[in-house]
Amino acid sequence: DGGITQSPKYLFRKEGQNVTLSCEQNLNHDAMYWYRQDPGQGLRLIYYSQIVNDFQKGDIAEGYSVSREKKESFPLTVTSAQKNPTAFYLCASSPLGLTNEKLFFGSGTQLSVL
Amino acid sequence: EDQVTQSPEALRLQEGESSSLNCSYTVSGLRGLFWYRQDPGKGPEFLFTLYSAGEEKEKERLKATLTKKESFLHITAPKPEDSATYLCAVRLWGAGSYQLTFGKGTKLSVIP
């Protein structure tokens, strides 16, 4: 079945540690996105990528980094510079173009600080 | 200032009690308005896209409508399995058109 796979489901970070969240899609979508969700808040865009080897910052990119070496993969690294990393992280993908604009989401990764 | 405001924040309904959720937006140049359903601990699931004022879309017990300033998600005779958080998002024309801007959501609880 086609879809977006995020792993792990739960992740714990120690202070000063970098952690990487995985996102893989087999939908053949060009665009991929990372959103952060906090309780009582709307989803906020961290980074997005429309093509391999290219990505742009979203509204809250500080303390995060990404790579897009393959069309199928868009990993997110939460660095030690992100002082409040506890949140639910959602990866999404979409085709490009005017007629297929909806985002397909993965099942999320809950990141907590030890 | 929030560009997308959803109300109410939470709504409790008895099974079979119809109601509506509201999503108002203050942006101009709307390219599309999206409704998603999100269950606890899971990613949002797409429901509808609306593109122009007057447009309506239906799926089972849900109907979404759009005006120039807001959208409504009408729930007719809800069942307990409709309990979820419903998210509204907008996409704009021009710079930033890659991005969906989300509201904070309405948490719906349907009591048997």
Segment B83-102, tens digit of pLDDT: 999 999 998 776 566 778 89
pLDDT at A66 over 80: yes
B104 confidence band (pLDDT: 50, 70, 90): very high
Question: What CA–CA distance (Å, rounded) separates A58 from A56?
Answer: 7
Mean pLDDT of B22-40: 91
Is residue A99's pLDDT more than 60? no
pLDDT the model gives residue B97: 65
User: How confident is the model at residue A90, as a pLDDT?
Assistant: 98
pLDDT in tens, B43-80: 999 999 999 999 999 999 999 999 989 999 999 999 99
Cis, peptide link before residue B112, omega less than 30° from 0:
no
Distant-in-sequence contacts of A23-27, Cβ < 8 A, 24+ apart: A23/A73, A23/A74, A23/A75, A23/A76, A23/A91, A23/A106, A24/A72, A24/A73, A25/A72, A25/A73, A25/A74, A25/A91, A25/A93, A25/A104, A25/A106, A26/A2, A26/A72, A27/A2, A27/A3, A27/A93, A27/A104
CB-based contact (8 Å) between B97 and chain A?
no
pLDDT, one tens digit per residue, over A15-57 is 889 999 999 999 999 999 999 999 888 899 999 999 999 999 9
Asked if A48 and B103 come within 8 Å (Cβ–Cβ), the reply is no
Residue A65 has pLDDT above 70, yes or no: yes
Average pLDDT value for residue range A46-69: 95
Contact B4, B90 (CB under 8 A): yes
User: Residue written as tokens 């500080």?
Assistant: A62
Q: Is B60 exposed, middle or buried (0-12, 13-18, 19+ CB in 10 A)?
A: exposed
Sign, Cα dihedral of A97, A103, A109, B1:
positive
Q: Which amino acid is at A59?
A: D
Q: Are A10 and A112 in contact (CB under 8 A)?
A: yes
Task: Tell me the average pLDDT of chain A.
Answer: 92
Residue type, A52: V
Q: Higher model confidence: residue B74 or residue A98?
A: B74
Q: Is the pLDDT of residue B1 over 90?
A: no
Which of A102, A107, A109, A110 should be substituted to probe chain B, the one whose Cβ sees the most B Cβ atoms within 10 Å?
A102
pLDDT at residue A1 in the model: 62
| Residue A107 burial by Cβ neighbours in a 10 Å radius (0-12, 13-18, 19+) | middle
Q: Which residues of A touch B42 (CB under 8 A)?
A: 107-108
Q: Residue A3 pLDDT > 80, yes or no? A: yes
User: How many whole angstroms separate alpha carbon A66 and alpha carbon B59?
Assistant: 36
Q: Work out how many CB contacts closer than 8 A connect A with B.
A: 53
Residues in chain B, overall count:
112
* pLDDT at res. B93: 74
pLDDT category, B8, cuts 50, 70, 90?
very high
Q: Taking 70 as the threshold, does the pLDDT of residue A100 lie above it?
A: no
Work out the minimum CA distance from B66 to partner chain A, whole angstroms: 17
